[in-house]
Amino acid sequence: MKKSKTVFLTGASRGIGKAIFKKLNKQGYKIITPSRKELDLSDPTSIKRLTEVNKKLKVDILINNAGINLPQWIDELEDKNLEETLRINLISPISLIRAFVPYMKQQKWGRIVNISSMFGVVARGKQTPYVASKHGLNGVTKTLALELGPYNILVNSVCPGFVKTDLVLRNPPEKLAALAKDVPLGRLAEPEEIAELVSYLISDKNSYITGTNILIDGGYTCR
């Protein structure tokens, strides 16, 4: 096995993705982080273009991190929101896995981490597309752990609770305080805490965890 492994990471410009980038960069990984201009996950032709051009790209580790959440009640839910959320959060990660898995199979080593959500395990009103996409992603994780286990490719989901990123910090301060109050640890997570778990899962130290949807939510879902 070569020394410096290549990681393909989506959504590294901000939030959790940025924290993952910083952590893995320090650890000496070679990291490919396409900008939105290079890879727009809402556009299927964009994924096709990027993966065709990079057919020979030897990706050892894929981290599907980019995601969106546009809360709308079911009776006001717009098709555009529904389709875009499912496309970015669920369909595009599957397409990327399909593109990069042949090399991992060939070398009989690979790690895939899908950044899901605690709302891939439990639910929340007003978030039908998001909850559906993250439950779907957790199902993809389990399916591919079964399918790819024989090739020594470990597939896991990381399911964060409320993390201090744009996605959550767009809420008014009083809403943020209320969210934190509902978390047994009494606070929101730092993006770096999520990056720490991802770093473990993709490392050689993880040799037996696969097919799990790991909650990292300060205990929120225990209620």
Ligand X SMILES: NC(=O)c1ccc[n+]([C@@H]2O[C@H](COP(=O)([O-])OP(=O)(O)OC[C@H]3O[C@@H](n4cnc5c(N)ncnc54)[C@H](OP(=O)(O)O)[C@@H]3O)[C@@H](O)[C@H]2O)c1
Which residue, 31 or 88, has its beta carbon nearer to ligand X? 88
> Binder to ligand X among 5, 9, 11, 199 (CB under 6 A)?
11
Torsions phi, psi for 18 (to 5 deg):
-65, -40
From the list 6-14, 71-79, 104-112, 149-157, the region that binds ligand X by CB under 6 A is 6-14
Closest CA to 7 of 201, 202, 213: 202
Within 13 Å, how many C-alpha atoms sit on residue 135's CB side? Answer: 11
Q: Is residue 160 part of the contact set for ligand X (CB under 6 A)? A: yes
Q: CB 108 → ligand X: shortest distance, Å?
A: 29
Least distance to ligand X from the beta carbon of 58, Å? Answer: 22
Of these, 168, 195, 214, 215, which contacts ligand X (CB under 6 A)?
A: 168
Shortest approach of ligand X to residue 17 CB, angstroms?
5
Residues 6+ apart with CB under 8 A from 66: 10, 11, 17, 41, 88, 92
**Should residue 167 be labelled a site residue for ligand X when binding is judged by CB under 6 A?**
yes
Both structure tokens of 165: 């990123």
Please give the positions annotated as active site: 130
Q: Does 63 bind ligand X (CB under 6 A)?
A: no
Q: Choose between 65 and 210: whose C-beta lies nearer to ligand X.
A: 65
Phi, psi at residue 215, to the nearest 5°?
-80, 135
End-to-end CA distance of the chain: 44
Name which position in 65, 85, 138, 210 contacts ligand X (CB under 6 A): 65
Report the interface residues with ligand X, using CB under 6 A.
Answer: 10-11, 13-17, 36, 39-42, 65-69, 88, 115, 117, 160, 162-163, 165-168
